[in-house]
Chain A
Amino acid sequence: MTDRYVVAIDQGTTSTRCIVFDRRGQLVSLAQQEHKQYFPRPGWVEHDAMEIWRNVERLAPRVLSRAGIGLGQVAAVGIANQRETTVIWDRVTGVPIGRAIIWQDTRTDSLVHTLASSPAAKDVSETSGLPLATYFSGPRLRWMLDHTPGLRERAERGEVLCGTMETWLIWNLTGRAQHVTDVTNASRTMLLDVRSLDWSERALDFFGIPRAMLPAVRPSIGGFGTASEGFPGVRIGAALGDQQAALFGQTCFTPGEAKCTYGTGSFLLLNTGADLIHPENGLLSTVAYQIAGERAVYALEGSIAITGSLVQWFRDQLELISSAPEIETLARTVADNGGCYIVPAFSGLYAPYWRSEARGVIVGLTSYITKGHLARAVLEATAWQTREVVDAMNANSGLALTTLKVDGGMTADNLLMQMIADVLDVPLVRPLAVETVSLGAAYAAGLAVGYWPDLDGLRRNWHIAGQWMPAMDPAVRSAEYANWRRAVERTFDWIQPA
């Protein structure tokens, strides 16, 4: 009998990856392609959806040949994608109308400001479980309809379709047969009623989105049809937002289990089971996953906009290092931050503040500060932002986090991992799979087609690959935390309303 495998497509912010996994959940082969980032104006960030689809088409045969396997050995394909990134395309030609607007884009700032003053705003937040912010897809769709001549009419006539990246990929993979989204991605639009799991008429009215352009909402784990392009003949078993996929890949199936993924931004998700917890302290409630025929599982989420991207900024804009991992080497040239703090509110602050008018600061500069201190401050910014989210999470859920499961590219940074364990005062655990986003998509897809029997089977694949124990003097911890908070306050109210 020849071995069978599952393939994950991880459509991320900077690149798209295809990964082949074996039955143990171990990586067999990987193929990756970056795509172009468009910054047409300050605060605007766009992707070319067609380029991304072409990348998937190219990566598919490449990853299979690297694994030395054929299409017949692929049991299922699963998709994990950057969330909230939104694209509109022509139903007939399949050509995107303009570029996809990505989650970091803040062009809807003033639109959101205007919408917020409407009395219905509170209801929409309540229904969708999300604060009204530029981060989500709803305002973005509205902006596209407002700024493209004739688009609203075409949308009403059903001539154009919209979706987040998984919708776009599934539509293309199935040869334009399926226009569908999964509940986790839908729960990031502000258009979904998180309780009934269908589009909310009220929210559609509020944002002015014609229902005809929206995809059908499906459970995350079930069926999205069979691919005819890319992986012809293979079933698309699952689709999940990348952070929900990471939660699944970390096998956080039980209420109370949490993970934090450290990439471009960082996202802490706590499984809250079948109960939707009312979010407070700047947290979001979101769908964690839904298996077809079962109730949805919910999560509480704390989102941090800028973590790994601060390291990228340090590398590309300040040019103080030539690769991201060198930040650790540079940070280790000094013993502490020398009194310097960096708060990366580049596009405002997400959890727990949700302040879009905040902008970044570097404080505590003296002539003593070297680039080594700055490198430390860059890493510490990620640690302290995690601490603020964990505090909010503990207060909201009434549970105290006892250990944190981590994953993502930044977990290769030992100094950072130690800092996080130190400031949280809980152990940090890295599982035997850093590519947890892809793994989660693979697990979900494999589960859908019976490649893996059940959740317990998946849990048995999870092993500890590394652990960091807290070792910080409590007095230092609280003094540093106080400094960090004072630094954060200095970012507030920087952008003045026009």
Chain B
Amino acid sequence: MPGTVQSIERAAAILRTLAGGPGRLGLTEIARTLDLAKGTTHGILRTLQLVGFVEQDRVSGQYQLGGALLHLGTSYLDINELRSRSINWADPLAARSGESVRIGTVLEGRVLVVHHVFRPDDTFQTLDVGTLLPLHATALGKVLLAYRAGGPPPDLEAFTRLTLTDAKALGTALEGVRDAGWAGEVEEFLLGQAAVAAPIRGYGGLVVGAIGISGPVDRVCDSRYRPRPHLVGYVRDAARAISRDLGAAR
């Protein structure tokens, strides 16, 4: 059968065995059940353990299904952990860009703001952690949509004249985001405001959130109404640094 990967088939078989077993299973038992060499089985178990799909009991050394499997399909990374792990890189982004920084994840068809760093000009600002933003009309949202399975949200509400309300146009834009590795948004949500965002990746390259800056169009964009390249660079650097810390490179 062309196109199948043997080790993935074996990994799936190990997971099924663990799921069907009476509780925890030892290495020998698993290897015997599947008629695999112990060394091969151990290698696969170690990898599964690394991604959180399998856990090993500290005392007995036996294996069981890992917590990450249970969360598969719901939220992949705890949002408070995402904030904790990003905070060191969100601050320099605000300092370098001179703009406010937000980190978002998807919650029920919208962007949930999980972290917010003020624009570093010491004017009065209010923390908007917990706020929900539209997916299709923000740079953070476009990043989150671009790397998510399934179509865009059905209701493409217009916030300004420039909001992408046509599913096809949005689809093209998202393709552009995937090609470029970042998303821009210019007056599509709020008049006079523009934003840039890039994906934060976790284990295995899975996109777990987005980080971005936003500010007045004349500061964020150049004369051609495009986000300034150096700002895009800062945003992507920050996103990469967080992803590296989250183990995306492995």
Contact = CB atoms under 8 A, between A and B. Distances in A.
Nearest to B244: A66
B91 A27 contact: yes
Interface stretch (B74-82, B190-198, B200-208): B74-82
Contacts of A327: 80
Contacts of A463: 95, 118, 120-122
A464 B81 CA distance: 22
A322 B94 contact: no
B117 A325 contact: no
A434 B120 CA distance: 14
Interface string B95-121: 110000000000000000000111011
B80 A328 contact: yes
Interface stretch (A216-224, A383-391, A408-416): A408-416
A466 B116 contact: yes
Interface in A100-151: none
Given A414-B129, A466-B118, A325 B84 contact: yes
Contacts of A326: 78, 80-81
B233 interface: no
A28 to B, nearest CB: 8
A433 B87 CA distance: 9
B219 interface: no
A206 interface: no
B24 to A, nearest CB: 16
A435 interface: yes
Contacts, number: 76
B247 interface: no
Contacts of A466: 116-118, 127
Nearest to B90: A465
Interface string B152-168: 00000000000000000
A346 interface: no
A24 interface: yes
A412 B83 contact: yes
A432 B94 contact: yes
Interface string B123-140: 001110100000000000
A467 B121 CA distance: 13
Contact of B118 (A329, A433, A465): A465
A468 interface: yes
A329 B80 contact: yes
A324 interface: yes
Contact of B78 (A28, A323, A434): A323
Interface string A425-441: 00000001111000000
A464 B78 contact: no
A27 B90 CA distance: 10
B176 interface: no
A37 interface: no
Contact of B83 (A24, A325, A465, A467): A325
Interface string B16-46: 0000000000000000000000000000000
B78 A325 contact: yes
A361 interface: no
Contacts of A435: 88
B201 to A, nearest CB: 18
B181 interface: no
B234 to A, nearest CB: 11
Contacts of B89: 27
B92 interface: yes
Given A30-B88, A467-B126, 16 more contacts: A27-B92, A323-B78, A323-B84, A325-B85, A326-B81, A328-B80, A409-B84, A412-B83, A412-B87, A414-B80, A463-B95, A463-B122, A465-B118, A465-B120, A466-B118, A467-B127
15 contacts: A27-B92, A323-B78, A327-B80, A329-B78, A409-B84, A414-B80, A432-B117, A432-B120, A463-B95, A463-B118, A464-B120, A465-B117, A465-B120, A466-B117, A467-B127
